[in-house]
Amino acid sequence: MASADQFEAIREQVARAVADQLSRADIDWSSVEQLVDPVVCIEAKFRDRSREESTQTAAGLTVTHVVDLTGVVTPKSGTPFEPPEDITTRAVDDVAPSAGTILPSLPRGSHVANSDALRSRVQPRSGPAQESNSEEASDAEDEDHTNISRKAISGLRPSRGDVPLVENNTQRQMQIADGNFPKRRKAESVGYALKPSTLDKLIVGIWEQIHGGISIDPQGLMDQFMAGPLLQGAQGSQVGMHSSGLTQPPGASLFQNGRPFNDTNLFCRKVTQASRTCRSVEVIVQARWVEYFDAYVEHLKTANPSTSDTKHRKAALVEACSDFGWSDKELRNKMAIWRGYKEIKDAGGWASLVFAGMGIYRFCKYRIGFDKESMQRLASLRPALKVAADTTHPNWRQLLSIIGESPERVYHGHPHDWVVFPDGTPPAPLHTMYLQWDPYFNFRHIEECIIDERAWGGDDPRWSPPTDAALTRISPLPICATCSQEQSDDLKQNNCYCFPSLFGSASPHRSPVQVFRTLNGRSNGLLALCAFERGAAVGEFVGVVTRGLQDVDVMEGANAAGSTTYQIWQGRQGNFTRFVNHSCNANAQYQRFAWLDTQRVVLVSKGIEAGAEITVDYSDKYWRGLDKKCLCGEKRCRYRRDS
Ligand SMILES: C[S@@+](CC[C@H](N)C(=O)[O-])C[C@H]1O[C@@H](n2cnc3c(N)ncnc32)[C@H](O)[C@@H]1O
């Protein structure tokens, strides 16, 4: 007769297998579209067929598995369903990249994978609750996480209406189709080839956490508990909060100067951040504990080699149970999950654990997609994760002190000062990759265009004076030419959300992209770490706004009125858009967009999957002026120039 533990293990495994199969199966769920909140409930009973007369199920051996189909049956519109393809890359010699960037002139004038929606539960018919509070909380948070992963990166959304496209009218510029986006095509994964397995969802979650608003800062955690009262009332008295937390909201009159509300926001934010940091500490300690457990078993073996391994493990478990104050079953259950944390750490490094977010508990509980291939993909991302974590969250490694790991940062500077390699080779400093063509090469990362004062004095040539119609309007605010809403840098007044990740809303997060080394001779390129919905901005094309440059790659532009032409040069200063390569089947394009009467150029997604290289079509004119072969690898490549 199997023991209760063995029954438990079987229950878990069957539930995992069901969830795994459902996430992989190609099921047409459209026939259940009429259900408002569709779930599929699968029950497995274990019986003894030799005793058919008995309809009794073996005690405790029932697995109930509830799968939420909401996101599967009613996918978000505009989200691509196609899984990314694998792309085989050709090894050819590296091509020297252009000194700057060749870009167009301005005219003068969801993947929703079925597995996303799986919210599985193993429901034992009896027995105590098994999760600690924090892990139960993780379950709840994980449902949030599951929902979040159905969307693209937060803050990214399709633009409203038809934003005018940058057109081509000079030599060496990109091809931009007239009208709106061309028909959606299957996205390609050239970089890390993330597939829609559940572990890949975890990986995308890690990138989202790194590039999102969280702050993993041990100092902030300490400050939170040492600082004492955080809120002072409008009249200097304490309002809404004791040193130990928030009390009932104060009366409406106390909100008059706005402070209590803002202070409460900050307080709540700090506690949320602190709690998130605690969760990271929890998982890294638990992963490290598993290592200690294994080492202790090894020690017992060495000390007493004649005793069986099973007995050594049992002895270690008994000791641990007594120290934790848990039953053998509780500890085994937790250990199974914590072992998952350790496996993720072994593959993706400590950064992958720290930034995995609350959802990691569920991933490790059901281990969906924990196959060798997925783990290898995570392992190949390890250096890239380190670069992103070190450069975006300089203090994150201090958390590792608690487990005796070095708190020293490995990668300093700007995230795009490093070039990562999809095969896991250690990252290289960006400038070193260009020294062979330019021994003095350096590149400064800037967030906004810089106006070349020698060329323009104090004026911004991208600006157009308001039209007569604008001057007679009641509202003093500029109106967006795309959505006809008022634009303002004052977030309370702004109503234009065409590109909210760039203009008019509070989204200071870095775009989840990384400079990577292409494997087929195009030097460096730009990788999407998360999906970008069709129509979402990846970033603004920024560089030095100048004029009169020749024989270097520039974006030529004109203000909306067409009265002034200028060039944007990214040769020495710019942002990640400088590394966008050409493809004859591009997944992004440049669009003109006027913000506060100033012309901007925005790199806009045509539907980019996580793990795909971001590309634009440089245009016929660009290739006509260039003595190079196109290495985009597309079947219908127009500039392969095989002869
Ligand atoms: C804007 S830069 C792009 C970033 C560049 N790959 C780098 O590493 O700096 C443009 C240059 O990249 C290279 N390039 C971009 N797309 C290419 C393609 N499809 N085939 C061959 N070379 C390409 C060419 O050298 C081109 O002049």
Instruction: Supply the pLDDT for residue 627.
Output: 85
Mean pLDDT of 379-403: 95
DSSP designation for 615: E
State the distance from the centre of ligand 1 to the C-alpha of 494, rounded, in angstroms. Answer: 37
* Sign of the CA dihedral running 173, 179, 180, 181: negative
Of the candidates 72, 91, 126, which is a domain's last residue? 126
Count how many Cα atoms sit within 13 Å of the Cα of residue 16 in the half-sphere of its side chain.
17
Residue nearest (by alpha carbon) to ligand 1 atom 27 = 98
The token pair that represents 146 in the structure block:
């599951």
Atom of ligand 1 nearest to the CA of 518: 6
CA pair distance 199, 379, nearest whole angstrom: 12
Residue 608 lies in a domain: yes
**592 shares a domain with 570:** yes
Spatial CA neighbour of 363 closest among 346, 340, 342: 340
Query: What ipTM goes with this model?
Result: 1.00
Domain of residue 33, residue span: 4-81+113-126
Cα angle 60, 66, 69 (rounded to 5 degrees) comes to 170
Q: Ligand 1 — pocket residues by CB below 6 A?
A: 95, 97-98, 101-102, 522-525, 578-579, 581-582, 628, 630-632
Please name the helix (run of DSSP H) or strand (run of DSSP E) that holds residue 76, with its range, or none: none
State the distance from the centre of ligand 1 to the C-alpha of 192, rounded, in angstroms. Answer: 19
Q: Which residues pair with 39 in a beta bridge?
A: 68
State the distance from the centre of ligand 1 to the C-alpha of 95, rounded, in angstroms. Answer: 8
More confident residue, 73 or 571: 571
Q: Which residues pair with 608 in a beta bridge?
A: 532
CA pair distance 192, 199, nearest whole angstrom: 13
Residue nearest (by alpha carbon) to ligand 1 atom 4 = 579
CA pair distance 293, 317, nearest whole angstrom: 8
Residue nearest (by alpha carbon) to ligand 1 atom 23 = 522
Instruction: Supply the pLDDT for residue 123.
Output: 31
Q: How many domains does the chain have?
A: 2
Distance separating the N- and C-terminal Cα atoms of the chain: 74
Atom of ligand 1 nearest to the CA of 95: 25
The token pair that represents 423 in the structure block:
């095969």
Spatial CA neighbour of 449 closest among 458, 460, 435, 441: 460
**531 shares a domain with 582:** yes
Residue 139 lies in a domain: no
For 294-332, what is each residue's pLDDT tens digit? Answer: 999 999 999 999 999 999 999 999 999 999 999 999 999
pLDDT class of 97 with cuts at 50, 70, 90: very low
The token pair that represents 240 in the structure block:
């809404």
The token pair that represents 635 in the structure block:
């079947």
Residue nearest (by alpha carbon) to ligand 1 atom 15 = 581
Residue 562 lies in a domain: yes
pLDDT value at 73 more than 80: no
Is residue 165 helix, strand or coil?
A: strand
**639 shares a domain with 525:** yes
Residue 320 lies in a domain: no
- Where residue 583 sits, what CATH number does that domain have? 2.170.270.10
For 560-589, what is each residue's pLDDT tens digit? Answer: 888 899 999 999 999 999 999 999 999 999
Atom of ligand 1 nearest to the CA of 98: 27
Residue nearest (by alpha carbon) to ligand 1 atom 12 = 97
**89 shares a domain with 45:** no
Instruction: Supply the pLDDT for residue 538.
Output: 97
Instruction: Supply the pLDDT for residue 206.
Output: 93
**602 shares a domain with 472:** yes
Instruction: Supply the pLDDT for residue 566.
Output: 93
Residue nearest (by alpha carbon) to ligand 1 atom 2 = 101
Residue 58 lies in a domain: yes
For 614-628, what is each residue's pLDDT tens digit? Answer: 999 988 878 887 888
**473 shares a domain with 585:** yes
Q: Which of 518, 523, 587 should be mutated for ligand 1, with most atoms under 8 A from CB?
A: 523
pLDDT value at 356 more than 80: yes
For 156-190, what is each residue's pLDDT tens digit? Answer: 222 333 444 443 333 344 433 334 444 444 444 45
Spatial CA neighbour of 501 closest among 547, 462, 545, 532: 532
**158 shares a domain with 29:** no
pTM across the whole model: 0.71
Instruction: Supply the pLDDT for residue 373.
Output: 87
Residue 568 lies in a domain: yes
pLDDT class of 126 with cuts at 50, 70, 90: very low
pLDDT value at 129 more than 50: no
CA pair distance 333, 140, nearest whole angstrom: 18
pLDDT class of 120 with cuts at 50, 70, 90: very low
State the distance from the centre of ligand 1 to the C-alpha of 479, rounded, in angstroms. Answer: 37
State the distance from the centre of ligand 1 to the C-alpha of 97, rounded, in angstroms. Answer: 5
Please name the helix (run of DSSP H) or strand (run of DSSP E) that holds residue 284, with its range, or none: helix 259-303
State the distance from the centre of ligand 1 to the C-alpha of 641, rounded, in angstroms. Answer: 16
**478 shares a domain with 500:** yes
**557 shares a domain with 594:** yes
Residue 36 lies in a domain: yes
Residue 237 lies in a domain: no
State the distance from the centre of ligand 1 to the C-alpha of 511, rounded, in angstroms. Answer: 21
More confident residue, 605 or 625: 605
Atom of ligand 1 nearest to the CA of 579: 4
**44 shares a domain with 180:** no
State the distance from the centre of ligand 1 to the C-alpha of 297, rounded, in angstroms. Answer: 54
Please name the helix (run of DSSP H) or strand (run of DSSP E) that holds residue 144, with its range, or none: helix 133-150
- Type of residue numbered 552: V
The most confident of the ranges 50-59, 228-237, 243-252, 448-457 is: 448-457
Q: Which of 90, 173, 582 should be mutated for ligand 1, with most atoms under 8 A from CB?
A: 582
DSSP designation for 253: G
Spatial CA neighbour of 608 closest among 624, 623, 587, 626: 587
Q: Which of 431, 433, 581 should be mutated for ligand 1, with most atoms under 8 A from CB?
A: 581
CA pair distance 528, 526, nearest whole angstrom: 7
Instruction: Supply the pLDDT for residue 534.
Output: 95
Q: What CA–CA distances, in Å, run from 309 to 298, 300, 304, 327, 460?
A: 9, 9, 10, 21, 75
pLDDT value at 22 more than 90: no
State the distance from the centre of ligand 1 to the C-alpha of 177, rounded, in angstroms. Answer: 20
State the distance from the centre of ligand 1 to the C-alpha of 101, rounded, in angstroms. Answer: 8
Instruction: Supply the pLDDT for residue 370.
Output: 83
pLDDT value at 204 more than 50: yes
Residue nearest (by alpha carbon) to ligand 1 atom 25 = 97
Instruction: Supply the pLDDT for residue 224.
Output: 60
**Averaged confidence pLDDT in the chain:** 76
State the distance from the centre of ligand 1 to the C-alpha of 488, rounded, in angstroms. Answer: 36
Instruction: Quickly count helices (H) and strands (E) in the chain.
Output: 14, 21
Output phi, psi for 264, to 5 deg: -65, -40
State the distance from the centre of ligand 1 to the C-alpha of 451, rounded, in angstroms. Answer: 25
State the distance from the centre of ligand 1 to the C-alpha of 86, rounded, in angstroms. Answer: 22
Mean pLDDT of 420-428: 92
DSSP 341-386: HHHHHHHH-HHHHHTS-TTHHHHHHH-TT--HHHHHHHHHHHHHHH
Least confident of 280-284, 473-477, 590-594, 609-613: 473-477
Instruction: Supply the pLDDT for residue 140.
Output: 39
**94 shares a domain with 38:** no
**69 shares a domain with 157:** no
Atom of ligand 1 nearest to the CA of 580: 3
